[in-house]
Chain A
Amino acid sequence: MYFRYLGRELRRRARSAALVAIGLALGVGLVITVTSYAAGVKAAQGQVLSSLYGVGTDLTVTKPPTAGTGGPFRFSGTPSSSAQAGQSFAQDNLTSAGGLTTIPASDVSSISNLKGVAGATGALALSSVHITGTFTGGFGPGASATPTPTPTPTPAPTTTASASPSASGSGFGISTFSVDGIDPTEPGLGLLSGPNIASGASVVQKWFSDVQSGGSSDQTLALVSSAYAKQNSLKAGSTITISSTSSSTSFTVLGVVSVTETDGADIYIPLSEAQSLTGDTNDVNTIYVTADTANDISTVQAEIQKALPSVTVTSASNEASNISGSLSTASNLANSLGLGLSIAVLLAAFVLAVLLTIASVTRRVREFGTLKAIGWHSRRIVGQVMGEALVQGIIGGAVGIGLGVAGAFLVTKISGPLTATVGATGLGSSAPSGFGGGGGFGGGGGGFFGGASPGAFSSAPAGFARTFATSNHSVTLHMTAPLSLEVFGVAAGLAIVGAIIAGAIGGWRAARLQPAVALRRVE
Chain B
Amino acid sequence: MYELKKLSRVYPKGRGKVAALSGVDLDIPDGEFITVQGLTGHGKTTFLLMLGALDKPTSGKIIFDGKDLGAMPESQLVDVRAQNFGFIFQNYNLLPTLTAEENVEAALVPLRIPTAERRARSTAALTEVGLGDRVGHFPSEMSGGEQQRVAIARALVKEPKVILADEPTGNLDEVTSLEIVALMEKLWKQRGMTLVLVTHDTKVARRAPRTAVITKGKLTMRDNRAPKVGTQGPPGTAKPAGAPKPT
Contact = CB atoms under 8 A, between A and B. Distances in A.
Interface in A451-508: none
Contacts of A11: 97
Interface stretch (B59-67, B80-88, B222-230, B236-244): B80-88
Interface residues of A, number: 27
Contacts of A380: 109-110
A5 B78 contact: no
B78 A366 contact: no
B89 A375 contact: no
Contacts of A414: none
Interface stretch (B25-33, B48-56, B186-194): B48-56
A294 interface: no
A373 interface: yes
Contacts of B102: 1, 4-5
Q: Which of A4, A8, A369, A374 has the most CB of B within 10 A?
A: A374
Interface string A366-379: 11011111111110
Contacts of B52: 373
A516 to B, nearest CB: 4
B97 to A, nearest CB: 4
A378 B82 CA distance: 13
A519 B89 contact: yes
A369 B55 CA distance: 12
Contacts of B87: 370, 373-374, 519
Interface in A1-30: 1, 4-5, 8-9, 11-12
Contacts of A366: 91, 93
B75 interface: yes
A306 interface: no
B45 interface: yes
Contacts of B45: 519-520
A374 B81 contact: yes
Contacts of B85: 373
A519 B78 contact: no
Contacts of B96: 12, 367
B98 interface: yes
Contacts of A8: 97-98
Given A5-B98, A12-B97, A373 B81 contact: yes
B110 A515 contact: no
A376 B158 CA distance: 13
B47 to A, nearest CB: 12
B110 A374 contact: yes
Contact of B54 (A376, A378, A516): A516
Interface string A508-519: 000000111001
A375 B107 contact: yes
A374 to B, nearest CB: 5
A12 B97 CA distance: 7
B97 A374 contact: no
Contact of A374 (B75, B82, B98): B82
Interface string A262-277: 0000000000000000
Contacts of B141: none
B93 A519 contact: yes
A392 to B, nearest CB: 16
A371 B54 contact: no
Interface in A350-391: 366-367, 369-378, 380
A377 B78 contact: yes
Contact of A1 (B74, B75, B93, B105): B105
A520 B85 CA distance: 18
B80 to A, nearest CB: 8
Q: Which of B90, B93, B97, B154 has the most CB of A within 10 A?
A: B97
Interface string B142-163: 0000000000001000000000
A122 to B, nearest CB: 80
Interface string B106-124: 1101110001001000000
A410 B106 CA distance: 49
A4 to B, nearest CB: 7
B95 interface: yes
A370 B97 contact: no
Given A367-B93, A367-B95, A369-B93, 11 more contacts: A1-B102, A12-B96, A366-B93, A373-B87, A374-B87, A374-B110, A376-B78, A376-B110, A377-B110, A516-B55, A523-B91
22 contacts: A1-B106, A1-B109, A1-B118, A4-B98, A5-B106, A8-B97, A8-B98, A9-B97, A366-B91, A370-B87, A370-B95, A371-B95, A371-B106, A373-B87, A374-B87, A376-B109, A378-B74, A380-B110, A516-B49, A516-B55, A519-B54, A522-B90
Interface of B: 45, 49, 52, 54-55, 74-75, 78-79, 81-83, 85-87, 89-91, 93, 95-98, 102, 105-107, 109-111, 115, 118, 154
Closest CB pairs A-B (n = 8): A375-B82, A8-B97, A375-B110, A516-B55, A370-B93, A375-B81, A516-B54, A374-B107
